[in-house]
Amino acid sequence: MRTIIVTAAIVVMALACGTRAGEPKKQTETESIPVRVAEIGRDARLGQIQASGSLSTEDEARLSFKVGGIIERIYVREGEKIKKGQLLATLKATEISAQVSQVQLSLEKAQRDYERVLNLYRDSVATLEQLQNAKTGLEIARQGLRAAGFNQQYAKIYATADGFVVRKLKNEGELAEPGNPLLLTRAVNASSGWILTVGLSDRDWAQVSIGDAATVRFDAFPGKTFTGRVHRKSLAADPASGVFETQLRVDLGPEQPAVGIFGKASIEAGRPVEGFSIPYDALLEANGKTGFVFVTNDGKTVKRVPVTIASINQQVVMLSGGLEGYRQVVIAGSPYLTDQSSIRVIP
């Protein structure tokens, strides 16, 4: 009897549990995520443009001999500073000196021939044509001597400007061909200093003007800042990268950098364009000039949109694009949001 009662109780309990398990649960409404928002401001004070590039000098010279020959001396080493007019390298003078002497002897003979024909012409023995031919031969010999002297002068290489030697392409004792570079130099003087070449987008390129001030930093000189100005703007985009090369002349003072070191510049744009300003807290996943924000127009749902960063200054982010057509940006609660999340705006 006890067994029957226990069995009946178990069956009743199982039926009761089965009924509750099978009952449909009440579905709760999706809770909106509380966020704070701020109005998106239109702003034309896009004062700073961030850019980066490599350092070089404005003037590069590939110095060579005009005539060929054996290199006798190279007076400088790679990295050495040079002064304008300084003797850098010479050829062995034997061959070129012999050529000059040969032309000099030819000139002396042409001078004697001309004087002899002139005397014969005065005695009516030589014709006018013979006199003119002798005079022409004398002039050709004179010009030949000038050319030989010119070539002798350029059997030596002199520095064309103050600067330094970047590379030495040949050594003493080697054969130098006419016109083939022997030394690669870069000028650094009052009229040609250090140049930081950066790449700008078409929008940024339109904002800057020649003469705009810039602040430059180099990883090679940690903790130091240098002043610079926009020196030159390219009028054509680079076909490979699509950016517009812009040159900044940088005052490095007593520092002696190397060609090719990496630098970052902040350019004070002289031609601001219309953009947007948002609080710093609204910006997500910033990487260089790109980032993301959550925006809303109706205060009920959000959209995740990419933006282009122009500058960041005093907790305010200046954007050059990405927020066209949007009214508000989320400044608190962003970590809990995804694209098209439901939101509830709180004070």
Encode pLDDT of 228-269 as tens digits. Answer: 999 899 888 888 888 899 999 998 888 878 788 999 998 887
Tokens of residue 313, six digits: 């200054």
pLDDT at 43 over 80: no
pLDDT at 325 over 80: yes
Do 284 and 291 contact (CB within 8 A), yes or no?
Answer: yes
Element (H, E) at 262: strand 262-268
Q: With bands split at pLDDT 50, 70 and 90, how would you rate the model's confidence at 5?
A: very low
Residue 162 confidence (pLDDT): 83
Q: What is residue 280's DSSP assignment?
A: G
Residue 192 confidence (pLDDT): 59
pLDDT at 323 over 80: yes
Report the Cα 227 to chain-centroid distance in Å: 17
Name which CATH class applies to 33-46+273-345.
mainly beta
Domain ranges of the chain: 33-46+273-345, 51-58+193-268, 63-92+155-189, 94-154
Residue 217 confidence (pLDDT): 93
Q: What is residue 188's DSSP assignment?
A: -
Are β-strands 290-296 and 284-287 bridged in parallel, bridged antiparallel, or unpaired?
Answer: antiparallel
* Average pLDDT value for the chain: 82
pLDDT > 70: what percent of the chain? Answer: 87
How many of the other CB atoms lie within 10 Å of CB of 312? 15
pLDDT at 212 over 50: yes
**Candidate CATH numbers 3.30.2310.20, 3.40.50.11900, 3.40.47.10, 2.40.50.100; the one for domain 63-92+155-189:** 2.40.50.100
> Which superfamily, per CATH, for 51-58+193-268?
Efflux pump adaptor protein, beta barrel domain (2.40.30.170)
What architecture is the 94-154 domain classified under in CATH? Orthogonal Bundle (1.10)
- Cα–Cα distance between 99 and 240 in angstroms, integer? 50
Q: pLDDT per residue over 121-163, tens digit each?
A: 888 888 989 889 989 999 998 998 888 888 888 888 898 888 8
Q: What is residue 347's DSSP assignment?
A: -
pLDDT at 117 over 60: yes
pTM above 0.75, yes or no: no
Q: Is the Cα torsion angle 228, 234, 237, 240 positive or negative in sign? A: negative
Do 273 and 207 contact (CB within 8 A), yes or no?
Answer: yes
